[in-house]
Every structure is written in structure tokens, then in C-alpha cells.
């Protein structure tokens, strides 16, 4: 059964735990320092929770491409994040983020100025493979933001079983730590650890 099918897509925004996980996107997206006219790729965009902030940041001359393999999640993203004056163009593309061809189609011949992956890379079996494919559609100097999950630690360790359950329900590997793959290739990195270590944020510049 497709984990991100029609039922999940309809209920995702309410059940995905935004009061816990929203902090990741609220830290990462402004830190990217997006400018009007830029082109941004939102990897595994889901129902588009990142899209309003990205579309506002790139303005009417910019473009945001949301890539996801689930048509149901994309359908919700397209419906809920309708274009409005002052916002960038939105294009939604269906495909696997590990597939270089899907990424090239998403780029449509022009490299991206930034890429965002929030709670998405930990769902893929091989985040390093995804990152290699993504670098094929980034321009040098592109902004990169990775937000993902890890086991809570220290005083928050009591919540580890809940965190593991949330990840398992969402199909994520809590031990994937995808930022580890990306970080060595970035400069000017900034990182944040929130929710007792459960939410990790890495923002930097590629090359």
C-alpha cells in the first residue's frame, strides 16, 4: 500500500505533528536567504507545507518546483497552495528524488539556486544517492537546507519511543541522519538542534 496515498494526503497537515516538526522549516527556510527571482527545488514536498514561505521569498519572478513521488500528496499541494499575487510560480512534478532523470525533468533545463528537503531524505533508502543526483541540477553556490529527525537525547530521551513510533508511521528511518551526507560538501553551514535532539536542521552553501 502506498504510505502517502489519498487518505494520508487528506489528513497529513493535521496529523503530521506540525506543532513539533514545524520548528524545522521555520528555522531552515529563512536561513536560506532566498532572493526574488530565484529557482528553488522542494524535494519530497508532500502537501506543500514549505511552499507558501518559498513562494513568498522568490516573489513573482521566481519559481518553486515541488517534487514528490506521491500523486495524492501533490494533488493536495496544488490545491492548497494556489498561486496568488506577489508569489512565485509553482510547478509540481511527480517523480523519485533519487532518479537523476526525474530531477532533470523537474529542473527543465535550468539549474536550481536552492534545494530544500524537510522530513523527506530519511524516507529514502539511500540519502547519499539522492544527494548525488540532486547536485546534478544545482548551480554552484546554491543554498541547501536539510531538516530531518534523530533520536531525542539527554533530558528528552524519555520521548524516544514516541519519536521512533512517529518516524515508523511516516516511513522514516530515525537513524538515517541524512545531514551527515550533505554537510561535508557545504560551506557557511549553520545548524540547529531542537525538540530534545529530535529535529535537526542544516543550512549551507553548496561549493
Residues in contact with ligand SAM by the rule CB under 6 A: 4, 16, 44-46, 49-50, 67-70, 73, 96-98, 118-120, 123-124, 170
In whole angstroms, how close is the CB of 87 to ligand SAM at the nearest point? 18
Q: Which of 80, 114, 95, 96 is nearest to 204 (CA)?
A: 114
Nearer to ligand SAM, 26 or 60 (CB): 26
Nearer to ligand SAM, 103 or 142 (CB): 103
On whether the CB atoms of residues 118 and 144 are closer than 8 A, the answer is: no
Distances in Å between the Cα of 194 and the Cα atoms of 66, 156, 167, 173 are 25, 10, 16, 18
In whole angstroms, how close is the CB of 83 to ligand SAM at the nearest point? 19
Nearer to ligand SAM, 39 or 69 (CB): 69
Give the DSSP letter string of 75-120. Answer: HHHHHHT---TTSPEEEEEES-TT-HHHHHHHHTTS-EEEEEEES-
On whether the CB atoms of residues 72 and 83 are closer than 8 A, the answer is: no
Angle, vertex CA 25, rays to CA 23 and CA 29, nearest 5 = 130
Half-sphere exposure of residue 145: CA atoms within 13 angstroms, side-chain side = 27
Nearer to ligand SAM, 132 or 207 (CB): 132
In whole angstroms, how close is the CB of 103 to ligand SAM at the nearest point? 10
Place of cell 540547529: 192
Nearer to ligand SAM, 119 or 206 (CB): 119
Nearer to ligand SAM, 56 or 60 (CB): 56
In whole angstroms, how close is the CB of 109 to ligand SAM at the nearest point? 21
In whole angstroms, how close is the CB of 59 to ligand SAM at the nearest point? 22
Report DSSP state, residue 143: E
**Which residue's beta carbon is nearest to the bound ligand SAM?**
46
In whole angstroms, how close is the CB of 38 to ligand SAM at the nearest point? 19
Amino acid at each position: 500500500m502506498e504510505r502517502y496515498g489519498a487518505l494520508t494526503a487528506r489528513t497529513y497537515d493535521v496529523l503530521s505533528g506540525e506543532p513539533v516538526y514545524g520548528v524545522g522549516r521555520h528555522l531552515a527556510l529563512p536561513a536560506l536567504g532566498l532572493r526574488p527571482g530565484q529557482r528553488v527545488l522542494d524535494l519530497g514536498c508532500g502537501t506543500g507545507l514549505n511552499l507558501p514561505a518559498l513562494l513568498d521569498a522568490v516573489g513573482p519572478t521566481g519559481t518553486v518546483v515541488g517534487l514528490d513521488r506521491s500523486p495524492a500528496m501533490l494533488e493536495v499541494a496544488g490545491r492548497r497552495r494556489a498561486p496568488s499575487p506577489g508569489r512565485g510560480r509553482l510547478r509540481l512534478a511527480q517523480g523519485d528524488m533519487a532518479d537523476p532523470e526525474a530531477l532533470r525533468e523537474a529542473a527543465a533545463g535550468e539549474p536550481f539556486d536552492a534545494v530544500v528537503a524537510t522530513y523527506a531524505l530519511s524516507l529514502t533508502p539511500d540519502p547519499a544517492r539522492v544527494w548525488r543526483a540532486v547536485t546534478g541540477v544545482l548551480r554552484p553556490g546554491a543554498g541547501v537546507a536539510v531538516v530531518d529527525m534523530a533520536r531525542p537525547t539527554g533530558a528528552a530521551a524519555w520521548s524516544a519511543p514516541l519519536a521512533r513510533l512517529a518516524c515508523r508511521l511516516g516511513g522514516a528511518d530515525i537513524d538515517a541522519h541524512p545531514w551527515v551526507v550533505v554537510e561535508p560538501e557545504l560551506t557557511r553551514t549553520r545548524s540547529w538542534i531542537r525538540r530534545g535532539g529530535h529535529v535537526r536542521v542544516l543550512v549551507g552553501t553548496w561549493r
